[in-house]
Structure 1
Amino acid sequence: MALDAEIVKTLEGVTTATITTVLLKLGLRNTWIRGTKPLAEGQPRIVGPAFTLRFIPAREDLATTASWSAPNSTRAAIEAMPEGCVAVADAFGVTDAGVWGDILCERMVKRNIKAMVTDGVMRDGAGVKASGLPVWSQGQAASPSVASMTFIGWEEPIGCGGVAIFPGDIIVADQDGAVAIPASFLDKVLELAPEQERLEGWVVEQVRAGHPLPGLYPANEENMARYRAYRAEQEAKEGQNG
């Protein structure tokens, strides 16, 4: 399930904004997970395969503190997570009870889990931040999950922030939020996203130099020719320095 280091390195160099643009060009409009914001300032861009977690509305006989010790529990799910994954919790947008808190996050750090992404909220905000686990969520709440949710299981298709996510889909999260790349689209994103990032970087430089946007963004044939000449020049310099 772990991603190749080169794949991770490539996607770490691409913004979620660029990825959503590339996926849109590939026909996928609904990939940005709504309601997920960085819990702490300065969180790095993270990349990893999704390990899915599913909650449903609380039912009194199931959503109890005793359920935390059950074989099918959030605690057991953490032990099933492979190193390098991103835990993605479907909390169906609940914001009055935390998916989980600092102790569980500390365990995830020990198990080398990359991050947590949820359309819900977290408990123990200060402790979660202190754990060092990067988290994307809707914020914080004091109440435990069982106040409003029942944990159902892991590694099944979920809907998080209005996006369908399957186990193994690739999650990229940065300061703009989190995006899900369907596993079957990964190769195309790896092919197209770095070039899209380079092109947009060049466009920004042109705008700063005073060029008008019509014909520049999106680039017409004339400007694409200018861009290709620029890239050829850059590659030649890189070849000389290499």
Structure 2
Amino acid sequence: MPLNPETRNKLLKVSTATLCTALFKKGLRNQFIQDVHPLNPHQANMVGEAYTLRYIPAREDLNTIDVFKSPLHPQRLAIEDCPAGSVLVIDSRKNARAASAGSILISRLMKRGVAGIVSDGGFRDSPEIAQLAIPAYHQRPSAPTNLTIHCAIDLNVPIGCGDVAVYPGDIVVGDGEGVVIIPAHLADEIANEAVEMTAFEDFVSEKVLAGQSIVGLYPPTDAANIIAFQQWRIAHQR
């Protein structure tokens, strides 16, 4: 089932930290991709369905520069087939010694309307990618071509990315901290919970910055704070 546009809009306005807590409440503890960071932490949030690419170790007799001449090369297919509005998620085996992609391929994703790209390896041309109007997340810069380390092997299959299981169609959300994976069937529920949590956390932050103690406020064990939050929501139309 495609991602509900209303759910997408909600996810664009909440943090990965809040989403992790909402997922924890559902029993999911390991949904935040490890050691992956935004090239441009000031970009807007990234939201989209996962379209996956899997790498295995390259082998010298099979992975020469000539493999890129084939229009059926899996990496090239991923760049041309990843649907608009989706996020390309790459299993690079947490190995950043060679690039998962570079600025030309990621520019092509941007022009095709792809919502973002995530790799648990690295990208080459990272200064140029950081200037593009597409969110990109990786472990660290890596100049060598992917063929020196990686062999693209599978498209749109279950993968591991930064120690998180990612299934095609899962919902990928990125912000200035990193990337979280939401199982597709939970997306609407998690988005609604995160919106509610964000409203309360904004209320709490306002009170704490005004000098109030967190005792009885966070969590709201004092009934007076529950009433104050309800009044705050009305006043702020939240």
Is TM more than 0.5 here? yes
Deviation, 1:132, is 3.0
Give unpaired runs (5+ residues) of structure 1: none
Deviation, 1:2, is 5.1
Deviation, 1:130, is 4.0
Aligned to 2:163: 162
Q: Distance in 1 between matches of 2:132 and 2:187?
A: 30
Whether 2:175 is the aligned partner of 1:197: answer no
- Kept in 2, the 8 Å contact 1:49–1:86? The answer is yes
- Kept in 2, the 8 Å contact 1:72–1:153? The answer is no
Aligned to 1:30: 30
Q: Distance in 2 between matches of 1:74 and 1:137?
A: 16
Q: Distance in 2 between matches of 1:188 and 1:125?
A: 35
- When structure 1 is superposed on structure 2, of 106-115 and 172-181 the one drifting more is 106-115
Deviation, 1:195, is 0.6
Call closer, same or farther: CA 1:234–1:40 in 2, change over 3 Å. closer
Q: Counterparts in 2 of 1:89-100, with a 5 A limit?
A: 89-100=90-101
Q: How many residues align?
A: 236
Aligned to 2:186: 185
Q: Distance in 1 between matches of 2:31 and 2:24?
A: 9
- Kept in 1, the 8 Å contact 2:122–2:140? The answer is yes
Q: Distance in 2 between matches of 1:80 and 1:60?
A: 27
Deviations 1:170-190 (A, max 9, x none): 111010101111101112112
Whether 2:172 is the aligned partner of 1:171: answer yes
**TM-score of the superposition, structure 2-length normalised?**
0.93
Q: Distance in 2 between matches of 1:99 and 1:169?
A: 21
Deviations 1:214-234 (A, max 9, x none): 221122151223322332444
Q: Distance in 2 between matches of 1:12 and 1:146?
A: 35
Deviations 1:49-103 (A, max 9, x none): 1111111122223322222233142111111111111111011111110001011
Aligned to 1:8: 8
- Kept in 1, the 8 Å contact 2:74–2:155? The answer is no
Q: Distance in 2 between matches of 1:192 and 1:156?
A: 29
- Kept in 1, the 8 Å contact 2:19–2:194? The answer is yes
Q: Distance in 2 between matches of 1:40 and 1:227?
A: 34
1:229 equivalent among 209, 228, 231: 231
- When structure 1 is superposed on structure 2, of 1-10 and 172-181 the one drifting more is 1-10
Give unpaired runs (5+ residues) of structure 2: none
Q: Counterparts in 2 of 1:139-150, with a 5 A limit?
A: 139-150=140-151
- When structure 1 is superposed on structure 2, of 147-156 and 57-66 the one drifting more is 57-66
Call closer, same or farther: CA 1:141–1:53 in 2, change over 3 Å. same
SS in 2 for 1:99: strand
Aligned to 1:58: 58
SS in 2 for 1:33: coil
Deviation, 1:124, is 1.6
**TM-score of the superposition, structure 1-length normalised?**
0.91
- When structure 1 is superposed on structure 2, of 193-202 and 181-190 the one drifting more is 181-190
Aligned to 2:47: 47
SS in 1 for 2:180: strand
